Amino acid sequence: MTDFLRDLSPVQQSAVSTTEGPVMVLAGAGSGKTRVITYRIAHLIGTKGVPSKNILALTFTNKAAGEMRHRVDTLLGPGASSGLWIGTFHSVFARLLRDYIERLGYSRSFSIFDSDDSKSLIRQSMTELGIQQDAVPVNTVQGLISKAKNSFILPSEFHRNASDYNQQKAALVYELYTRKLRENNALDFDDLLIKPLELFREHPDVLHELQELFRYILIDEYQDTNRAQYLVTKQLAERYRNIFVVGDDAQSIYSWRGADISNILNFQDDYRESETFKLVDNYRSTATILTAANSVISRNSRQIKKELVPQGAKGDPLTLIEAYNERNEAEKVGERILSMHREKGLEFRSFAVFYRTNAQSRVLEDAMRQSRIPYKIFGSVSFYKRREIKDAVAYLRFIQNDRDSESLLRIINFPPRKIGDVSITKLRQFAEERGLTLYEAIRSAGEGGFPQRLLTALGSFSAVIEKLRETAVDGTVYDVLHELFELTAIPSLLQAENTPESLARHENLQELLSMARDFSDHNPDRGSLGDFLENIALASDYDETQESDNFVSLMTVHASKGLEFPVVFITGLEERLFPLNCFEPEQLEEERRLFYVAVTRAREKIFLSWAQSRYLYGQPQHCLRSKFIGEIDQSVLLGEGGRAVSRGGAPAAVAAPASASFRRPAASGSPAPETAARPATGGMKKGAKVHHAVFGPGIVVELQGKGSQQKARISFRSAGEKTLMVQYANLKIVP
């Protein structure tokens, strides 16, 4: 046996040593999959004498490829990896196409268009076809074309199967866009995957040549491959069938970007003579964490059965945190982090907080700042620095101060109004000549001899601003923001694009609306637009760039894949949030795999949290506990204070915070009322018993005003007296 193979476990040794024929390694979380791939490469070169040029190793990131190359050189000596074909799918196929692309009518000097270049060419194609972007957003078209290419659906097939309006228009664009790419002697990123397939189909001699070259093929993260990647590698491996794939079906979480779990599930059908090795020894997490992970993932039907086996200590049980609302949840997370930091000496870098959607970061960020806990957003930017949030806030700033020309310039084309830089320059000149502010110049543009098209666009913009200013006089921040979204249809436009990016931006805007509603509900006496903007300004001014690297990591669960932390918080464990809205069994199973990924990131301790109520689209909603909590082996799950957790959805009573604002510290409140409550309508009167989602039970002391402007002064049992806008407080009258 080669000496370096002694570093491996028996099953790892067997996987590495089985060099001939197809092999699948099911590598559970924390089981050392990268180690197996690199040792196999070293074994092929160092022991079997395989020339490095005959080995093709495909990864999904340049970092992973670099790490593999470095490990091979460490095992065999410097330069051992120099002849290897090792890299990402895109980089390796781009290299191949340089040698063979002339067979498809391109020159070897072809350009590779990035996403922005691609979008620009798609936009040109849409213009030539007379397809308006307000009818079909360019991002939607780009997403449909990309999805088709990754599934190896060429323009003619896509056109035949187009089933709705967007697909029909995208099919026309796809055909013209493909021609334009060829005219530009260019390929987009997706072409790097499908052009090899076209090459193999039209020139079998090229496929034969490459099959002879790549006698040993290794693929990392096989569960993340899409249709095109699957087809290319299957054809390359057809002659010698020495294909070695490593992956974990339980960590297949990228179907939304084209990954096809059936590639790994069907490997044994594709290669009936294949051998399968299961790496289940986990060197990362405690036994209790793995018990939780195994018990949840076992519920999936589409999987290759395996259970992770702990190689470490038993560890502490998972702790379930039950909160009254999302702000109370965030506060509890912060309190736990501070407690473990102070009492156990854990550095902030030991903690990670996961959430299902990017929009959830806002309330967690607020809590971190309030508790003076250093943090960083991993894989994204701070909520208040996201483009769509800055755009929406710029509207509010301009409504507050119409001399704010920076905000004006940010929003004048949000959403697009075709007011170009040349027009803005002329408006500035017009304003200077007449001694006007830029907005005054816009309002007076009819006197400046501007073309009618521009006057119409400026009139539309100023009409929106004036309507919002009118709403701001007597309305709440929520009223203004809701009116903004209605007048501009910005959220609807993002939703219509229906791309992962646009839907995430839509969620962020809805979270801003929820924040405004929350602020309006709980600050009726200090809830002006200026106060709201002051809060945001102070929050967005927070310096995230710490001088040290000692900070809590905040991230989506998707961003956490491949990482690990001593202590992990998995937040927002509620139905319709995590799992996210699921309409098909396959969707629920992917959500369950995503939860499995979150759990297996933790080395020592996990906190799970959920909130009984949460603002959604600006409205407070009652929440149900996530089914995933009930699927965990109850022997490894305890509630706060070490109490048992019921398997069903009935939660223990959760204390309400005394304040709804992060300006003041929270305090314990009382549990939900024992008696049933009904929504407060016109029956609100002095002396009525009511219940509030945050402040709990109380008695109406005084009513002020009528209709939509009515306020109620209420004495709450635990939170003291509060004055609330009845329209937005979501009060319930208790019999």
The model's pLDDT over 290-314, given as tens digits with 9 standing for 90+, comes to 999 999 999 999 999 999 999 889 9
Question: Rounded to whole angstroms, how far apart are CA atoms 25 and 247?
Answer: 7
Last residue of a domain, one of 506, 539, 572: 539
Q: Assess whether 324 and 364 both reside in one domain.
A: yes
Q: Is the model's pLDDT at 670 over the cut of 60?
A: no
Q: In this structure, are residues 282 and 311 in contact, taking their beta carbons and an 8 Å threshold? A: yes
Picking from 172, 159, 158, the residue whose alpha carbon sits closest to that of residue 128 is 172
178 is catalytic: no
Q: Which of 2, 18, 19, 34 is catalytic?
A: 34
124 is catalytic: no
Please indicate, yes or no, if residue 714 is contained in any of the structural domains.
yes
Q: What is the pLDDT of residues 112-138, one digit of tens each?
A: 888 888 999 999 999 999 998 777 888
Q: Assess whether 534 and 565 both reside in one domain.
A: no
Residue 13: pLDDT band by 50, 70, 90 thresholds? very high
Sign of the dihedral defined by the CA atoms of residues 102, 108, 113, 114, in that order: positive
Q: What is the pLDDT of residues 87-112, one digit of tens each?
A: 999 999 999 999 999 999 999 888 88
State how many domains the chain has: 5
Q: Assess whether 171 and 244 both reside in one domain.
A: no
Tell me the CA distances in angstroms from 451 to 197, 445, 458, 600, one per residue in order: 52, 10, 11, 62
For residue 680, what pLDDT is reported? 52
Please indicate, yes or no, if residue 657 is contained in any of the structural domains.
no
For residue 202, what pLDDT is reported? 94
Q: Is residue 31 a known part of a binding site?
A: yes
Question: Rounded to whole angstroms, how far apart are CA atoms 656 and 668?
Answer: 6
Q: Assess whether 516 and 442 both reside in one domain.
A: yes
Domain that holds residue 227: 4-101+194-279
Cis status of the peptide bond prior to 679, with omega within 30 of 0: no
Of these ranges, 350-354, 374-378, 518-522, 523-527, the one predicted with the greatest mean pLDDT is: 350-354
Amino acid sitting at position 221: E
Q: What is the pLDDT of residues 347-375, one digit of tens each?
A: 999 999 999 999 999 999 999 998 999 99
Q: Is residue 379 a known part of a binding site?
A: no
Q: In this structure, are residues 388 and 509 in contact, taking their beta carbons and an 8 Å threshold? A: yes
34 is catalytic: yes
Q: Is the model's pLDDT at 42 over the cut of 80?
A: yes
For helices 191-202 and 204-213, the axis angle rounded to 10 degrees is 110
**Range list of β-strands (E), 656-709:** 678-679, 689-692, 696-704
> Which strands form 216-219's sheet, in the order they lie side by side?
85-88, 55-59, 216-219, 243-247, 23-27, 275-279
601 is catalytic: yes
Question: Rounded to whole angstroms, how far apart are CA atoms 75 and 36?
Answer: 13
Q: Is residue 652 a known part of a binding site?
A: no
Instruction: Give me the chain's average pLDDT, please.
Output: 86
Q: Which of 220, 224, 388, 574 is catalytic?
A: 220
Picking from 669, 670, 707, 714, the residue whose alpha carbon sits closest to that of residue 689 is 714
Q: Which of 140, 167, 251, 471 is catalytic?
A: 251
Q: Which of 601, 603, 605, 625 is catalytic?
A: 601
Q: Is residue 618 a known part of a binding site?
A: no
For residue 252, what pLDDT is reported? 93
Q: Assess whether 170 and 227 both reside in one domain.
A: no
Question: Rounded to whole angstroms, how far apart are CA atoms 293 and 636?
Answer: 11
Q: Is residue 627 a known part of a binding site?
A: no
For residue 129, what pLDDT is reported? 92
For residue 728, what pLDDT is reported? 53
Radius of gyration of the chain (CA): 29
Question: Rounded to whole angstroms, how far apart are CA atoms 379 and 604?
Answer: 23
Residue 242: pLDDT band by 50, 70, 90 thresholds? very high
Q: Is the model's pLDDT at 2 over the cut of 90?
A: no
Question: Rounded to whole angstroms, how far apart are CA atoms 68 and 114?
Answer: 26
Q: Is residue 472 a known part of a binding site?
A: no
Residue 376 CA from chain centroid, whole number = 16
Q: Assess whether 389 and 455 both reside in one domain.
A: yes
Cis status of the peptide bond prior to 579, with omega within 30 of 0: yes
Q: Is the model's pLDDT at 663 over the cut of 50?
A: no
Q: What is the CATH number of the domain that holds 514?
A: 1.10.486.10
Q: Is the model's pLDDT at 548 over the cut of 80?
A: no
For residue 659, what pLDDT is reported? 40
Q: Assess whether 273 and 410 both reside in one domain.
A: no
Q: What is the CATH number of the domain that holds 572?
A: 3.40.50.300
Q: Which of 12, 13, 33, 248 is catalytic?
A: 33
Amino acid sitting at position 365: E
Q: Which of 221, 248, 249, 331 is catalytic?
A: 221
Please indicate, yes or no, if residue 648 is contained in any of the structural domains.
no
Q: Is residue 274 a known part of a binding site?
A: no
Residue 518: pLDDT band by 50, 70, 90 thresholds? confident
Q: Is the model's pLDDT at 176 over the cut of 50?
A: yes
Please indicate, yes or no, if residue 452 is contained in any of the structural domains.
yes
Q: Assess whether 361 and 415 both reside in one domain.
A: no
Please indicate, yes or no, if residue 647 is contained in any of the structural domains.
no
370 is catalytic: no
Q: In this structure, are residues 276 and 268 in contact, taking their beta carbons and an 8 Å threshold? A: yes
386 is catalytic: no
Q: How far apart are the first and last CA of the chain?
A: 80
Q: In this structure, are residues 292 and 573 in contact, taking their beta carbons and an 8 Å threshold? A: no
Q: Assess whether 8 and 51 both reside in one domain.
A: yes
Q: What is the CATH number of the domain that holds 121?
A: 1.10.10.160
Q: Is residue 34 a known part of a binding site?
A: yes
